[in-house]
Copies of this chain bind each other. A is one copy, B any other.
Amino acid sequence: MLNQDAYALGAAPSAIREVFEYGRRQAKLLGEDKVFDFSLGNPSIPAPDAVNEAIHTILKTESSIRVHGYTSGAGSDELRTAVAENLRRRFGTPARPEQIFITCGAAPALTSVLEAVSAPGSEVIAIAPFFPEYRPFTNFSGSHFVPVMADRESFQPDTDALAKAINAHTQAVIINSPNNPSGAVFREDVLKDIAALLRERAREYGHPIYIISDEPYRELVYDGQKVPFLPNLYEDTVVCYSWSKSLSLPGERIGYVYVPGAATDSRELFLAVAGSARMHGHVCAPSLIQRAVAQCIDSLPDLSAYDENRKLLYEGLTESGYSCVRPDGAFYLFVRTPGEDNDRFSRRAMEKNLLVVPSEPFGVSGFFRLGYCVAKETIERALPVFRELIR
């Protein structure tokens, strides 16, 4: 008599979290230094000092009632204004505070937007490899989830494959760049091709096809790479953002949805996002963290540690005979599984307390994901284990 979909999802936790929980148990048993946990996207560099300083100051100078009280459902005026101003200044997009909906992180931003664009029979496309939660999030919203494989060498979206998958039921395409799990930053020319394709099909079918741009890794790029800002390339874009990675605050649950004024039915869509969030139990994002983020919106953590890890791990692995695309963004390496099936490889790795995530949940087989948001020593100690495994 229980909800069987909910039970199934609760009983089969995400593959990533499962590996992570296993790692925590092993670390308790054997000691932290005996476990090489590359499973999670948990930032390994501290939040900028400005964040904790802001929290101390807010608590000392403002009343408890104001600091810990409800904000409006869409967020505090202060933070919505700060986000709009930040987007205007950095990307030249004409963002206004009333187009910003502050959420408890990127996950509820996505579930709210997916729910908002769901209509009877609707379909939502994601470029594979993709963040595994896209699938249950989409299915639960009532839309059918349609993965479209990226190019297996570059991990850039394959516009021809996309063209074949789009039909009159397509309500949205999820774009995630910098990409989890591949680390690829989608090229501007590829995104422009996609925009042209979606415009053409929207005209043909007589309804918009939204791009849902999931951007938790927007600021995490290396070697001077630039991440194209999608609303500037395609008018029907909705942005889902999180400060989890860009301010190293994943546990604090803070992010936003930006519905640009240029998007079709912009105001209606914004209200549908607000209504969806409310359906899911959203009241407001955590208030103290809203205030702190408003004051630190231009801060960034020191990304040099990730960059160093990226080079160390990429070079160590390729020298040992592993093959993977050099990632331009995020903090993941997506490595081709050498010569055997994924399950067997990750089981063998697990036996050596080396925790990786096999690629199947990302919608692709034959790869495994490494999160290099770890201590440098973890990589140094893990490289010999990787070498052993490929022998």
Q: Which residues of A contact B (CB under 8 A)?
A: 1-3, 5-11, 13-14, 17, 21, 40, 42-47, 51-52, 55-56, 59, 63-65, 67-73, 103-105, 107-112, 115-119, 122, 133, 136-137, 140, 142, 171, 207-208, 248-253, 265, 268-276, 278-290
- Copies of this polypeptide in the complex: 2
Contacts of A44 in B (CB 8 A): 65
Q: Contact at A251–B7, with CB atoms within 8 Å? A: no
Q: Contact at B281–A10, with CB atoms within 8 Å? A: no
Between-chain CB contacts (< 8 Å), 17 pairs: A1-B117, A1-B119, A1-B122, A3-B117, A3-B119, A9-B275, A10-B276, A13-B73, A13-B278, A17-B72, A42-B70, A44-B65, A68-B248, A68-B250, A103-B281, A108-B281, A112-B281
A29: min CB distance to chain B, Å: 15
A216: min CB distance to chain B, Å: 11
Task: Give Cα A281–Cα B282 distance, bound, in whole angstroms.
Answer: 10
Task: Give Cα A207–Cα B2 distance, bound, in whole angstroms.
Answer: 10
Given pairs A1-B207, A9-B274, A21-B72, 20 additional interface contacts (CB within 8 A):
A3-B116, A3-B272, A5-B275, A9-B275, A13-B73, A13-B274, A42-B70, A46-B63, A55-B288, A69-B250, A107-B282, A108-B280, A108-B281, A108-B282, A109-B281, A111-B281, A136-B279, A251-B287, A252-B286, A288-B289
A81: min CB distance to chain B, Å: 15
Task: Give Cα A200–Cα B280 distance, bound, in whole angstroms.
Answer: 33
Q: Contact at A279–B137, with CB atoms within 8 Å? A: yes
Q: Contact at A46–B64, with CB atoms within 8 Å? A: yes
- The residue in chain B whose Cβ has the minimal distance to the Cβ of A10 is B275
Given contacts A44-B65, A69-B251, A248-B68, contact A10 B271 (CB under 8 A): yes
Q: Contact at B286–A253, with CB atoms within 8 Å? A: yes
Q: Contact at A248–B65, with CB atoms within 8 Å? A: yes
Q: Contact at A269–B2, with CB atoms within 8 Å? A: yes
Q: Contact at A59–B55, with CB atoms within 8 Å? A: yes
Given contacts A208-B1, A281-B107, contact A276 B6 (CB under 8 A): yes
Contacts of A107 in B (CB 8 A): 281-283
Q: Contact at B40–A70, with CB atoms within 8 Å? A: yes
Given contacts A3-B118, A69-B251, contact A281 B42 (CB under 8 A): no
A123: min CB distance to chain B, Å: 12
Contacts of A250 in B (CB 8 A): 68-70, 283
Task: Give Cα A109–Cα B283 distance, bound, in whole angstroms.
Answer: 12
Most chain B CB within 10 A, of A6, A140, A208, A276, is at A6
Contacts of A40 in B (CB 8 A): 70
Contacts of A8 in B (CB 8 A): 275
Contacts of A72 in B (CB 8 A): 17, 21
Q: Contact at A273–B43, with CB atoms within 8 Å? A: no
